[in-house]
Structure formats: structure tokens, C-alpha cells
Amino acid sequence: MKKFFALMVLVVLGLTQEVIANEVYYAKIGYNDKINSYGERLGSVADILRQDRANYHKFFVRDREDSGDRFFAYPDNRERMASMLRNGYISPATRDAIMYGNPVVRVTIYDYRIEVELY
């Protein structure tokens, strides 16, 4: 019984940790977020979100609606953007808004995934 109780505590703690967001930031997806350093148009949502964070942290190209984050301040973490998006959630409407418009999005960062929604 003690082993079962200890196992249940570990499971609950593990689930609780995953539910709690590590960080939230807001980003206006503008023209500069949709092109890379060579002036080429980016072809995926993950690439656009990664460029937005590189613009914010590395190049200091910021939109008024952008807010900061600590996680994507590190280049290695920005490289994880695509896998974090694959493991996370983004609705088809939000994906289309990023690809074809200039929305403001709310990005919630968890340990291994992100959730992106229109704001």
C-alpha cells in the first residue's frame, strides 16, 4: 500500500508540473517576422515564431505589442521552436492568421511544448 501511495504521489506531481505554464508572452506577427536574415519569406508557422523571438532578443526588432520572455532569449531554445510546436497546440485558424495576416498571439511555454492562440 505504501508503494502504491508513493507512486500515486509521483504521478500527481508529474501531472501537476506539466499543467503549470513556465512562461507566457505576446507577439505581434509583423512583416519582419515573416522574412529571414537573407530577405527570404519563411514558409512555416514555427519558422515565423522563431524569427519573431530572434527579432525580439537578438536583433531588437520589436513590435509595440511584443512582450519579452526568458526562455527564447537563448538561441538553443529558439532552435527547439518547431518541435515544441509539434508537441503543443495551435488551431488551424491561428495557423492561418500567422501565415496570412499580422495577428497578435499569446504563446504559453511549457517544458517541452508551446500553445499558440490568437489574442
| Beta carbons of 69 and 109 less than 8 angstroms apart | yes
Q: Number of C-alpha atoms within 13 angstroms, CB side, residue 11? A: 6
d(CA 115, CA 90): 6
- Digit-coded pLDDT (tens) for 6-64: 445 545 555 444 458 899 999 999 999 999 989 999 999 999 999 999 999 999 999 99
Looking at residue 58, what is its pLDDT? Answer: 97
pLDDT band at 100 (very low <50, low <70, confident <90, very high): very high
Contacts of 5 (CB under 8 A, 6+ apart): none
- pTM for this model (two decimals): 0.83
Helix axes 45-54, 92-100, angle to 10 degrees: 60
Q: Is residue 5's pLDDT more than 80? A: no
Percent of the chain with pLDDT over 70: 84
Name residue 86's amino acid: R
Pairing of strands 23-28, 104-109: antiparallel
Helices within 56-114 (DSSP H only): 75-79, 81-87, 92-100
